[in-house]
Structure 1
């Protein structure tokens, strides 16, 4: 077991790092700039604004907010759309469409298909007027989809307004006169009212990045980053990394991803530059996409200026077992509650490891609790960790999870849970909220009560199960990788041929980067819902087809065939996953 230098510490404190990961894949159709799915702006309205609000209301509570660059790019795209009036998101555009009676059947069906996608228990059933619209939709659906022709423009208007109201953050519901007025009115919304709501959404989205930048500038939060388009870095570098944690994992037919090292450098360099432009400084560290790490990946993160990174608890357990020659880990979990200095073969990097149990409680359990009870339970677990912490060093507890996907399963978008949690943490005598950067900085102080252990081994893996099985290893996931590898080989040939001008090369490279994102492989799998798998499967194949078109090549016919079909009913709709199989 790696050893730490211990110091006398009679007043031990627990240092808590809350890291909220803000991420949406790129939902744009690159050939025309249209947004195919609305999740970026919906989560901006509901979650990114609420998460900023709670931090603003609790200035003594500190946290890390991890913004994926491709998410920030999409938020800025929406901001430009509002400023120009050229709306390239069909659902958002129809909210602002004056004469809904004139919509064709396809547009009407798009509204019906979109405007009931939410957690019905928390976001539909509490609102009688919205429930009434759902009941009418079911009636129409029962008489055949062609009956959308007979839906009135007023029905469509009310449905569009209600969908955007239920996706509105709780902080906006409590502060916006417009939102309160519309929710009270309930129906018969006018075009003027829809236009007011549309304009409010524009104001919300425009304010997201400045609000977080202000929180960072006053030192309350650290903003970290992720490789630009959220690729699984270890797999881009070497598919065989999957076998470090799963020796028998099936791999794609392709032996490796062509030019993966160069592509990783590009994602990292672009992320650092994007962060500098958007937040005024380079990031101190990165949460690698899905906590995906390997020794080679950590080496590259360090080369791009990262002083820290983080991953899942199971990765640490696997790495320590290898370091201890497969002997069992100690009964105490104290080994988890500290940073580690990892040797990479280059510049070392500090690595933090997620407390899976506490992170999953927020992600999956506390939505079923009263907010104050959930916050009290969370703090109680921290107190127990501190009470049982071995030695004299202060424990460091790392909690990492999505900053958006859990909250729709909570009452009131987790308003009471987050308010109570931050209040308790602000006032607690023995718990200090901190950031990764400040923790690393404290390690350089010889009198610091926080110390790091050295970790010589690093078993490649992710925060999900400690493996890469969520992204590679099944027939459909591997087929996705093989299709991507084929496209990348074509990309390499065309890019070296001189057939494309500079702008055409840039567009093709941006489209390739989108195809390399992790989300397509996340959603492949029969354990996911049919609707979600179908959406992401179609968008992945469309992205690959567009890449061929941008390369001035005909897309392979195989891209017309579905890769994966979902049949499952995963927790939280599949957008989140527990760190351990249950």
Structure 2
């Protein structure tokens, strides 16, 4: 519960990865689920465990939780000789035989084992940096490849996983420390011991966050099942509320979108309940994507709060002033309700959140936290004599930290320590602020549909490549609906197709399409999206149209932080 005198501060960390698993083969095409789990989700829990007076909101996308569970099942089956590890990179870590040097398989594993921050992860460890230098020689001088031992690849695989290991694990695990000290010539026993550490970290994520929630230190919330952009599922034209001239896909609507949005929320609650034994009170709608129809749906599913970016409330206030010019600017540091909806809406302070995401990585931790808290103190001071402000820092819990020294260890530890003991600021949760409001919410007649990025949906629709992706999804949904109605599938097949459709509805595919994103990541995601669509067609027994096999997007940009994060107000990066 927020203090009667202190200004409430909510740190909301969003944990999310899309589905990287090919549901037809059970293979993971990219390793980001387990890598971010051992590096970021584990560290974020540990910082809260190490600062028991601190509090936070932690939001999980259900598709992430399910993929963590799948890794655990696959590793356990492999241990008992009953199956394979479905991630090629993780399987290679403990493979008895690695590919021959000079082969495409060898080169592929080598390249995958170098996808890490060069400055903060690879160059931090001299042994890892030497392997990366040798990889550069391998690329430039193919005539020397035959002389490179497979020991190079096995050592590189070990160092890649050591590099991605969470800082809090690195500081406590004797196994990790001994492997780092050994440095090279890792044995199969070493590699299996490293896999055991990875398994233990993966298996601890659910119980650790559940325990933090039971203590009341963390509020756990949820996103739509596969991180779908609900306002666009419900109505593609909602994109015009904030951008009237935006070009929409050829298909004017996503068929049955409102029902699908409801399914996404219900399935999210089911998965959340299974993992945590709790009913979520709040929902971070994917990317803070809200509309009036989305708010109504959230209320129908008993969500008491949601949140978005500060541009959304500015757009909504401006719209309200068209009929009520005297309406005050209540600002972003207040809860709001809209129309008849009783669901509280909180708004991200983009300035504070973006400082963590894009500025503080190169600062000394104490200076960075001191600067951030100074900004918070100023906001609190401006509220004297008025309704008390609510300060919201909302950002993903995984992508910023690889740009910080030691995975943000010093910054996060200092942040929780200072805020947990601050005389004028108090860490709290959104559920507490709904149950015991420090100020009554402002009611506006209408919420202008938008997301936390620029207050628009331009990151997911409007660009020609993004629109083509929507048209492919809409076309697939038409065929899906026909097959679901004609009785050709049994209940088990229908359920599998329903899950596969949900994967195709995820917001991440649309995020990455466009020339302003990096070519390699665009290639990864557009290939994966089209594979998911092909799988959907196979599941419903309908031939995939030729358009699904044509490349959607290429990408050629160099956005900040590789495009995994975006600032809330940088118009130059707007699609």
> What is the TM-score with the length of structure 1 in the denominator?
0.94
| Dislocated runs of 4+, deviation >4 Å | 101-104, 146-150, 326-331
Which residue does 1:413 correspond to in 2? 407
Kindly indicate whether the alpha-carbon contact (under 8 Å) linking 1:10 and 1:392 is maintained by their aligned counterparts in 2: no
Which residue does 1:201 correspond to in 2? 198
Post-superposition shift, 1:149?
5.6
Q: 1:299 to 1:129 in 2, by over 3 A?
A: same
Per-residue deviation, residues 436-476 of structure 1 (Å, max 9, x unmatched): 10000003xxxxx4322112220000000000000000100
Per-residue deviation, residues 509-529 of structure 1 (Å, max 9, x unmatched): 111100000000000011110
Which residue does 1:15 correspond to in 2? 8
Question: Which range moved further: 297-306 or 452-461?
Answer: 452-461
Kindly indicate whether the alpha-carbon contact (under 8 Å) linking 2:15 and 2:59 is maintained by their aligned counterparts in 1: yes
Kindly indicate whether the alpha-carbon contact (under 8 Å) linking 2:3 and 2:426 is maintained by their aligned counterparts in 1: no
Per-residue deviation, residues 27-86 of structure 1 (Å, max 9, x unmatched): 000111100000000000000000000000011110000000000000111111121113
Q: 1:329 to 1:437 in 2, by over 3 A?
A: farther
* C-alpha separation in 2, matches of 1:148 and 1:510: 44
Equivalent position to 1:125, from 123, 130, 146: 123
Kindly indicate whether the alpha-carbon contact (under 8 Å) linking 1:105 and 1:148 is maintained by their aligned counterparts in 2: no
Which residue does 1:79 correspond to in 2? 72
Which residue does 2:561 correspond to in 1? 572
Which residue does 2:294 correspond to in 1? 297
Q: Does 1:367 align with 2:348?
A: no
Q: 1:131-530 maps to which residues of 2 (within 5 A)?
A: 131-144=129-142, 150-325=147-322, 335-344=331-340, 347-389=341-383, 391-443=385-437, 449-530=438-519
Can you give the 5+ residue segments of structure 2 that lack an aligned partner in the other structure?
79-83
Per-residue deviation, residues 154-186 of structure 1 (Å, max 9, x unmatched): 101110001000100000110011111111121
> What is the TM-score with the length of structure 2 in the denominator?
0.95
Per-residue deviation, residues 223-277 of structure 1 (Å, max 9, x unmatched): 0001100111000011110000000000000010011011111101001111111
Question: Which range moved further: 461-470 or 504-513?
Answer: 504-513
Tell me the secondary structure at the aligned position of residue 233 of structure 2.
Answer: helix
Post-superposition shift, 1:206?
0.4
Which residue does 2:547 correspond to in 1? 558
* C-alpha separation in 1, matches of 2:10 and 2:463: 34
Q: 1:213 to 1:321 in 2, by over 3 A?
A: same
* C-alpha separation in 2, matches of 1:516 and 1:431: 40
* C-alpha separation in 2, matches of 1:165 and 1:178: 10
Q: 1:40-55 maps to which residues of 2 (within 5 A)?
A: 40-55=33-48
Which residue does 1:446 correspond to in 2? none
Which residue does 1:533 correspond to in 2? 522
Kindly indicate whether the alpha-carbon contact (under 8 Å) linking 2:8 and 2:426 is maintained by their aligned counterparts in 1: yes
Q: 1:292 to 1:98 in 2, by over 3 A?
A: same
* C-alpha separation in 1, matches of 2:229 and 2:146: 45
Kindly indicate whether the alpha-carbon contact (under 8 Å) linking 1:68 and 1:227 is maintained by their aligned counterparts in 2: yes
Q: 1:469 to 1:84 in 2, by over 3 A?
A: same
Can you give the 5+ residue segments of structure 1 that lack an aligned partner in the other structure?
1-8, 444-448
Per-residue deviation, residues 82-119 of structure 1 (Å, max 9, x unmatched): 21113100000000112326689243122112011111
Q: 1:147 to 1:504 in 2, by over 3 A?
A: farther
Kindly indicate whether the alpha-carbon contact (under 8 Å) linking 1:105 and 1:149 is maintained by their aligned counterparts in 2: no
* C-alpha separation in 1, matches of 2:237 and 2:382: 39
* C-alpha separation in 1, matches of 2:442 and 2:133: 59
Kindly indicate whether the alpha-carbon contact (under 8 Å) linking 1:63 and 1:435 is maintained by their aligned counterparts in 2: yes
* C-alpha separation in 1, matches of 2:3 and 2:536: 61
Post-superposition shift, 1:147?
6.6
Q: How many residues align?
A: 565
Question: Which range moved further: 133-142 or 432-441?
Answer: 133-142
* C-alpha separation in 1, matches of 2:287 and 2:531: 24
Per-residue deviation, residues 196-227 of structure 1 (Å, max 9, x unmatched): 00111000000001100000000001000011
CA RMSD of aligned residues (A): 1.8
* C-alpha separation in 2, matches of 1:327 and 1:390: 26
